[in-house]
């Protein structure tokens, strides 16, 4: 069995580290990206630790899902499913990544505002995802989506503990419902695989959802994302931080981003949020415009 560096990286999925940019959200919306280098350094350490932690989960997940992945037209090319990395080697790699993640966080202890809370959040994320993968929680309807959504909320809380910057409740709620929206949208897209591949070729949990429920849930959480973001943009604390309370000006741009993303869920072959965002230049450009706009408004 020949294992290459490329296979190792595929197992780690470094491109999914873009999800962990949420760690910088408390610092970004507080306006400290350029003015607080010590907090930026703490967030960067946390980003590295969390990314390695998430990669450990991906390696573990690929071991558990290898039999099903071999029946899937795209996932059969994953290193474990394709036999380029043995399950034992993947598990060893997962353990090493988890240990390295903890080591990086510990090494940066002196720079982290609330080390105990940050370490507990990182450990809780790992434990939650081990239960999700190993103990079958990923096959329980509603609970599977809720764990994914909680993982995104934990990223923001982790960033808050790293930097000592409190997070707006409206911002937390916005991220939570947006995570539900993306998760239900992904399942709505992949539910079609049941008809194309057969029930044994995809996640069992998809067979327990109905297309109607997934569509209604996706639309509901899309609406809630817009509503909660709007409430954050007009919140008193937010208005104090942005020029003359003009954060609400970003709302049309956020709606445009969400509509393009919603369109992509139906028109692109893969419903995975990372794949959608990275392969749609319009979303990338709009995201960059949003970041620049918010920096200017601060």
pLDDT tens digit sequence for 88-107? 988 999 999 999 999 999 99
Residue 180 in tokens: 């539900």
Question: Which residues lie closer than 8 Å to 223 by C-beta, 6 or more apart?
Answer: none
Residue 298 and residue 287: Cα distance in Å, rounded? 17
Does 219 have pLDDT greater than 80? yes
Could you tell me which residue, 169 or 242, shows the higher pLDDT? Answer: 169
Q: How many CA atoms lie within 13 A of 45 on its CB side?
A: 24
CB 258 within 8 A of CB 211: no
Q: Which range, of 66-70, 138-142, 198-202, 284-288, averages the lowest pLDDT? A: 198-202
- CA distances to 75, 163, 176, 264 from 272, rounded to whole Å, are 13, 30, 17, 10
Computed over every residue of the chain, the mean pLDDT equals 89
- What confidence score (pLDDT) does residue 192 get? 64
Does 268 have pLDDT greater than 60? yes
Q: Which range, of 19-33, 138-152, 153-167, 266-280, averages the lowest pLDDT? A: 266-280
Residues in the chain: 298
pLDDT level of residue 75 (50, 70, 90 thresholds): confident
Does 81 have pLDDT greater than 60? yes
Could you tell me which residue, 119 or 138, shows the higher pLDDT? Answer: 119
Task: Give 292: exposed, middle or buried? Use CB within 10 Å, 0-12, 13-18, 19+.
Answer: exposed
- What confidence score (pLDDT) does residue 194 get? 60
Mean pLDDT of 5-29: 90
- What confidence score (pLDDT) does residue 3 get? 59
Does 42 have pLDDT greater than 60? yes
Mean pLDDT of 14-34: 89
Cα–Cα nearest to 294, from 171, 135, 193: 171
Cα–Cα nearest to 91, from 124, 134, 48, 60: 60
- CA distances to 4, 149, 183, 248 from 64, rounded to whole Å, are 21, 21, 20, 45
pLDDT level of residue 114 (50, 70, 90 thresholds): very high
Q: Which range, of 39-43, 74-78, 268-272, averages the lowest pLDDT? A: 268-272
Does 230 have pLDDT greater than 70? yes
Sequence-separated contacts (24+) of 14-21 with Cβ below 8 Å = 14/51, 14/55, 15/274, 15/278, 16/54, 16/58, 16/274, 17/47, 17/51, 17/54, 18/274, 18/277, 18/278, 19/54, 19/152, 19/155, 19/273, 19/274, 20/47, 20/50, 20/51, 20/54, 20/155, 21/47
Mean pLDDT of 257-280: 84
> Could you identify the residue written with the tokens 């992945």?
69
- What confidence score (pLDDT) does residue 154 get? 97
* pTM beyond cutoff 0.95: no
Does 2 have pLDDT greater than 60? no
CB 152 within 8 A of CB 175: yes
Mean pLDDT of 47-52: 97
Mean pLDDT of 3-21: 87
Residue 72 in tokens: 């899937």
């Amino acid at each position: 069995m020949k294992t290459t560096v490329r296979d190792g990286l595929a197992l780690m999925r470094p491109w999914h580290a873009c999800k962990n940019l949420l760690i910088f959200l408390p610092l970004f919306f507080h306006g400290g990206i350029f003015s607080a280098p010590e907090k930026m350094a703490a967030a960067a350490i946390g980003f590295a630790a969390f990314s390695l932690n998430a990669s450990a989960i991906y390696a573990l997940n690929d071991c558990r899902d290898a039999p099903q992945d071999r029946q899937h037209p795209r996932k059969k090319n994953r290193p474990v499913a394709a036999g380029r990395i043995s399950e034992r080697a993947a598990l060893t790699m997962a353990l090493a990544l988890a240990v390295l993640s903890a080591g990086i966080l510990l090494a940066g202890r002196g720079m982290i505002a609330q080390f105990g809370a940050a370490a507990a959040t990182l450990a809780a994320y790992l434990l939650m995802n081990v239960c999700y993968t190993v103990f079958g929680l990923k096959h329980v309807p509603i609970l599977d989506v809720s764990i994914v959504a909680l993982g995104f909320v934990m990223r923001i809380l982790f960033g808050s503990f790293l930097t000592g910057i409190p997070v707006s409740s409206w911002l937390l709620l916005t991220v939570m419902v947006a995570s539900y929206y993306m998760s239900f949208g992904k399942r709505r897209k992949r539910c079609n695989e049941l008809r194309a591949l057969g029930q044994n070729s995809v996640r069992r949990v998809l067979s327990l959802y109905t297309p109607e429920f997934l569509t209604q849930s996706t639309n509901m959480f899309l609406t809630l994302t817009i509503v909660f973001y709007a409430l954050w943009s007009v919140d008193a604390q937010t208005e104090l931080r942005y020029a003359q309370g003009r954060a609400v000006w970003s709302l049309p741009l956020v709606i445009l981003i969400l509509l393009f993303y919603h369109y992509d869920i139906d028109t692109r072959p893969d419903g995975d949020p990372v794949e959608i965002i990275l392969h749609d230049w319009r979303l990338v450009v709009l995201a960059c415009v949003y970041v620049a706009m918010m920096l200017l408004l601060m």
